[in-house]
Amino acid sequence: MPDAPAYPMPRVQFLSFEGCPLAAETRNVLEQALKHVGRQPDDFLEIDVLDPATPPELARWGSPTILVNGLDVAGHEGGDAPGCRVYDTPDRLPRLEVVVHGLLHNGCQ
């Protein structure tokens, strides 16, 4: 049996809701970023921010959002209620470099 890591694996969460027009493309960026930092591309928990069972501290984020250990990879604070989130880029998506930096900076090494 392999030894357990000496440190806990960072928790990566992808927050979105069904029908979010930017969710699929942002999920793709996250998968690429995870591969870039040596993680499996599906090594994240997907959370529906509109699901009544979603904790309030997660439901307040816009969709799509990527959190690592509870911190937004782009450095933003959460909102007051779920809604659409657009990033300040021409295609309204997070940049791969920003997501990679957020993963590394927030403990995903």
């699901």: which residue's tokens? 51
What is the Cα–Cα distance from 29 to 36, expressed in whole angstroms? 10
Is the confidence at residue 20, as pLDDT, over 60?
A: yes
**Average of pLDDT values for 40-67?**
94
The encoded tokens of residue 17 equal 């809701």
Average confidence score pLDDT of the chain: 87
Report whether 81 contacts 9 (CB < 8 A): no
Question: Does residue 16 carry a pLDDT above 80?
Answer: yes
Report yes or no on whether pTM surpasses 0.85: yes
Query: For residue 4, what pLDDT is reported?
Result: 46
Q: Is the pLDDT of residue 19 over 60?
A: yes
3-state secondary structure 83-99: CECCCCCCCCCCCHHHH
Mean pLDDT of 10-38: 95
Q: What percent of the chain has pLDDT over 90?
A: 68
**Residue 16, phi-psi category: left (phi > 0), alpha (psi -120 to 50), beta (remainder):** beta
pLDDT, position 1:
43
User: Would you say 57 and 103 are in contact if contact means Cβ atoms under 8 Å apart?
Assistant: no
- What structural domains and CATH numbers belong to the chain? 12-105 (3.40.30)
pLDDT in tens, 66-90: 999 999 998 888 777 778 898 888 9
